[in-house]
Amino acid sequence: MTVTMIQPAALEWLVGQEPTTVLLVGASSGYASMLIRAGHQVTVIDPRRESLIELTNQVPGLHVVAGKAESLPFDPGCFSVVLSIQNFHTFAPGMALGEWARVLKPQGRVALAYMTRDDSVPWVNKLKRIVQYYLPHAMSSDYGSYSVAAFTAAAYFPHVDKVSFRHWIPSSKTELQTNACQSPGAAELGEDRRESMLKEIGELYDQHARIPNPLLLPYTIQCWKAEVDRSSLTMPLIPHDEGLSIAL
């Protein structure tokens, strides 16, 4: 199912109100544009050169760098915020967090966000059961937010703040049916089963929608941020013993 952008209020909580230097991890024209409109100085890093070329075509003048989140080609203390939205689970956290801590200024912070669908709402639960009957791997609840545990346990970021925002996405009958047809495995469905799935989704919509108003898909935007503790980057190495003694 299609997931929309996180709300501006959530992005403001993550990055702050005052213009600052932001490293956006991952080529996203939507978030890059939102950050620039808010007055931030934005650098985008992504290993996919094609995505960066497309991004600069969409957002002219944007500073982009081809590289990996685990091996940043920047000097120490370049950025006030390192921002990762919906993609932290794709990185090696031990390597990435160390690099992010290195390029942050003193009192700089890492900010993470995941948008997850709320399947506890009865009509959404019914929709999920319908779609998964035909497409078992569709409407998965595995968004990757489990990976944030590595962030909250990292020595570089000892004090993590968390907040959640509620977000309701208007969805028409056609949009729900289209999203189902774009789910994993939908291309392999036979015509009869495809039509049967679309019919059930349409009937569900008619039962729960208050026409002409669309149904509202509920999402939760979970946000985390923490200031860097640079002491772990500069702490001297202290041996555990006095070395090897050899008696003569």
Residue 241 has what pLDDT?
A: 54
Do residues 93 and 157 make contact, with C-beta atoms less than 8 angstroms apart?
Answer: no
Do residues 22 and 83 make contact, with C-beta atoms less than 8 angstroms apart?
Answer: yes
Residue 1 has what pLDDT?
A: 44
**pLDDT string in tens for the chain (248-residue length):** 444 688 899 999 999 999 999 999 999 889 999 999 999 999 999 999 999 999 999 998 899 999 999 999 999 999 999 999 999 999 999 999 999 999 999 999 999 999 988 898 999 999 999 999 999 988 876 678 889 999 999 999 999 999 999 999 999 999 999 999 998 899 999 999 999 999 999 999 999 999 889 999 999 999 999 999 977 665 554 455 555 555 65
Buried b (16+ CB within 10 A) or exposed e, 184-208: eebeebeeeebeebbebbeebbeee
Report the candidate in 91, 82, 137, 148 with the shortest Cα–Cα distance to residue 114: 148
Residue 237 has what pLDDT?
A: 44
Alpha helical stretches, state H, 120-234: 122-134, 148-152, 173-181, 191-208, 231-234
**To which H or E segment does residue 86 belong?**
none
Sheet of 41-46, strands arranged across: 63-66, 41-46, 21-25, 79-85, 104-117, 215-227, 160-171
